[in-house]
Amino acid sequence: MTTMKTITNTLTFSAVDPDAGLKKALTKSRADVIAEMNASGLKGRGGAGFPTSVKWNLAAAAKSDKKVVVCNADEGEPGTFKDRVILADFPDLVLEGMTIAGYAIGAKTGIIYLRGEYSYLRQPLEAAIEKRRAANLLGNDIAGKSGFSFDIVIRMGAGAYVCGEETALIESLEGHRGESRNRPPFPVDTGFMGNPTIVNNVETLAWAACILAKGGDWFNSMGTEQSAGRKLFSVSGDCARPGVYEFPLGVTIQEVLDDVGADDAKAVQVGGASGHCVPAGDFQRTLAFEDMPTGGSMIVFGQDRDMLEVAINFLDFFLEESCGQCTPCREGNEKLLEGALLLQEGRCSMGYLKNLCALGETMQLASKCGLGQSSPNAFLSIVDHFKDEVLGRTAMAPIEG
């Protein structure tokens, strides 16, 4: 491998006994496992923050003998790489979390949907799965628990960001274009091949294993009331020590910046391309579901960065990654990009900018899935916070006429 090891602070994952969670789970009833998850207050670490125990409970209640646990390892949000670190350094914790989920909802099948860009993680993951099979931690009558069978396969993505969206992911698994589905019905009812399916983020599953090992109360005692526990953040951009950092939820942006050595930040993009741009004046805001929800991406911008170029980079990304199914997203992102380029040339009137912002708000409301709903966020927040920088720029191209 021709990369460096990603910098991290001390991660809870490295201090949890292997398979302690699974063994404890198997001494409990399925309902009690879900109750433990409920007590933890864990919300999904993939970004949307849906309570994990609620999702598991819905799937557990569904009647089917073909339920599926999907580990969402598509990690495509720009600026996010914590799942890569978890999969590389703590693969067993993720596999253990999937197995616990399988036990809790009554599933026999686990699927890891691994993004194509992470193909080099496939072999080590296969090896970890194989080792668990040999140790009877996957397969039939797992760890001596008669009647509990569960196994895991890996499926590779093929370079499509939208496939991280859970219904698009399921479409992709079924051999279709990764086009998001209307919801409801939700995957917990009608997921992979019409079977009840839970889709959980890599980090969510790793925390589930920790929670079963150390107890729901342990987890819930950290973080804030509405955002229990700790979370991994992927920090990149203009800072001395980019890397993966674990903090309790409720940490302020400033505290994170202090730890990563970002003394000169003028803004931080919280939540990746689909997140919001936060100016320095708001660095006391907290990373928590009740304030700034995030899947963990934090991109730091130093004083010299051109924020309009940042917005253009993100819009390029969305234009490329839109699945093209619905008009607000397909056409809207193109219009926003055109507008941003006009701004760059110093040729956008205030009136037109207002129209663009109104278009962005329409996209947030009218797009079919989270991609289109969140794609205007970066542009809107940059225009909002950096008007001086964005408007009245010196023309870069000659003005015709």
For other proteins, the closer of residues 155 and 354 by Cβ is 155
Please identify, among the stretches 2-10, 94-102, 200-208, 378-386, the one whose residues bind ligand FMN according to the rule CB under 6 A.
200-208
Closest CB 298 distance from other proteins, rounded Å: 10
Closest CB 377 distance from other proteins, rounded Å: 14
Render 329-344 in DSSP notation, one character per residue.
HHHHHHHHHHHHHHHH
By CB under 6 A, is residue 180 in contact with ligand SF4? Answer: yes
By CB under 6 A, is residue 199 in contact with ligand FMN? Answer: yes
Binding string to ligand FMN for residues 13 to 52, with x set by CB under 6 A, is what? -------------------------------xxxxx-x--
Q: How far apart are CA 257 and CA 266, in angstroms?
A: 11
Picked from other proteins, ligand SF4, ligand FMN, none, the partner binding residue 160 (CB below 5 to 8 A depending on kind) is: other proteins
Closest CB 58 distance from ligand FMN, rounded Å: 12
Picked from ligand SF4, ligand FMN, other proteins, none, the partner binding residue 317 (CB below 5 to 8 A depending on kind) is: other proteins
User: Binding ligand FMN by CB under 6 A: which of 79, 223, 370, 376?
Assistant: 370
State the burial class of residue 249 (Cβ atoms within 10 Å of its Cβ: 0-12, 13-18, 19+).
buried
User: Binding ligand FMN by CB under 6 A: which of 74, 171, 179, 238?
Assistant: 74
Q: Which helix (H) or strand (E) holds 231?
A: strand 230-237
User: Binding ligand FMN by CB under 6 A: which of 16, 53, 56, 75?
Assistant: 75
Helix 91-105 and helix 202-214: axis angle, to 10°? 80
Helix 327-344 and helix 307-321: axis angle, to 10°? 150
Total residue count of the chain as it appears in this document: 401
Cα 67 to chain centroid, rounded:
23
Please identify, among the stretches 24-32, 69-77, 261-269, 346-354, the one whose residues bind ligand FMN according to the rule CB under 6 A.
69-77
For ligand SF4, the closer of residues 125 and 369 by Cβ is 369
Q: For residue 243, what are the β-bridge partners? A: 7, 235
Nearest to 204 by CA among 77, 100, 111: 100
Nearest to 235 by CA among 277, 269, 204: 269
